[in-house]
Amino acid sequence: MFIRVQGLSKTYGKGTAATKALREVSLNLDKGEMVSITGPSGCGKTTLLHILAGIESCDSGEIWIGDAPIHEWDDAKIAKLRLAKMGFVFQSYHLVPVLTAWENAAMPLIAAGMPTGKARVRAREALSEVGLADKENSYPAQLSGGQNQRVAIARAIVARPDIIWADEPTGALDTDTAEQIIGLLEMLNRHYGTTIAVVTHDPGIASHMNRTIRMHRS
Ligand code: ADP
Ligand code: ADP
């Protein structure tokens, strides 16, 4: 699924407390592309990713996800598109501590109304895709950082999305584990043609991607 962003702007707060987070950002992602998004701290990378994923709204500009002009859509419609077409991976995993690996991985399907039994089968498939088939009943506290990020990736792919947004997915991991996580994202990109955008500070990780989008402070 291709993504087209035109003249995207976002300001947090009002008056003297206003912070311009994005100023007229434009970019295109081709279907099946894997790109890194880099730039200095505070330049708006997280804000951009959150707006593209429909987690946050923008002030002005256009966002096309395939044929869908999501800048014209309301929150409910965007949330539905997000559940069906997008996965999101955070630096700090954002898993629910009281849920097991399969329950965490199944969350997007349950939220979309899939019966638990079917969602469990799909969550197991996603966990085996990330190499964690034997950990389906483990809780986040029983798993390593790399394993928790794999659970988070299983949750991101469980609905078989066209797009994965990843915000510093290796920021909390050691170099070897980070390479494995990026290798996993590369595999998903190659095997399923999933479009993937990864925010990263790490030039080593950026070098794995088709292309780097560099952002500057606005
Ligand atoms: P990056 O991910 O590149 O570090 P962010 O998107 O997190 O940048 O932040 C961009 C700018 O917007 C920064 O100046 C930051 O302080 C500000 N900002 C981000 N989120 C908020 C928020 N919820 N409220 C107010 N300001 C914010
Ligand atoms: P089935 O048709 O039996 O449901 P598929 O052949 O579509 O299964 O998929 C086989 C495996 O690939 C499953 O483990 C599934 O979770 C995984 N899979 C399929 N499509 C995607 C996708 N777009 N992203 C991630 N994993 C996927």
pLDDT digits (tens, 9 = 90+) for 99-123: 999 999 999 999 999 999 999 999 9
Domains of the chain, by residue range, sit at 31-40+75-214
Please give the structure tokens belonging to residue 116: 């638990």
Please give the structure tokens belonging to residue 156: 């991101």
Residue 160 alpha carbon to ligand 2 centre in Å: 7
List beta partners, residue 63.
5
The binding-site residues of ligand 2, defined as CB within 6 angstroms of any ligand atom, are: 125-126, 129, 157, 160, 188, 192, 194
Question: Which mutation among 8, 9, 10, 12 tests ligand 1's pocket best, with the greatest number of atoms within 8 A of CB?
Answer: 12
Q: Which residues of the chain have pLDDT under 50?
A: none
Nearest CA to ligand 1 atom 10: 44
Q: What is the pLDDT of residue 211?
A: 95
Q: What is the DSSP letter of 159?
A: T
pLDDT digits (tens, 9 = 90+) for 59-76: 999 999 999 999 999 999
Long-range contacts of 112-118 (CB under 8 A, 24+ apart): 112/83, 112/84, 112/159
Which CATH number is associated with domain 31-40+75-214?
Answer: 3.40.50.300
Q: What is the pLDDT of residue 129?
A: 96
Q: Write the ipTM.
A: 0.86
pTM above 0.90, yes or no: yes
Residue 164: which of 195, 193, 190, 186 has the closest Cα?
A: 195
Nearest CA to ligand 2 atom 24: 160
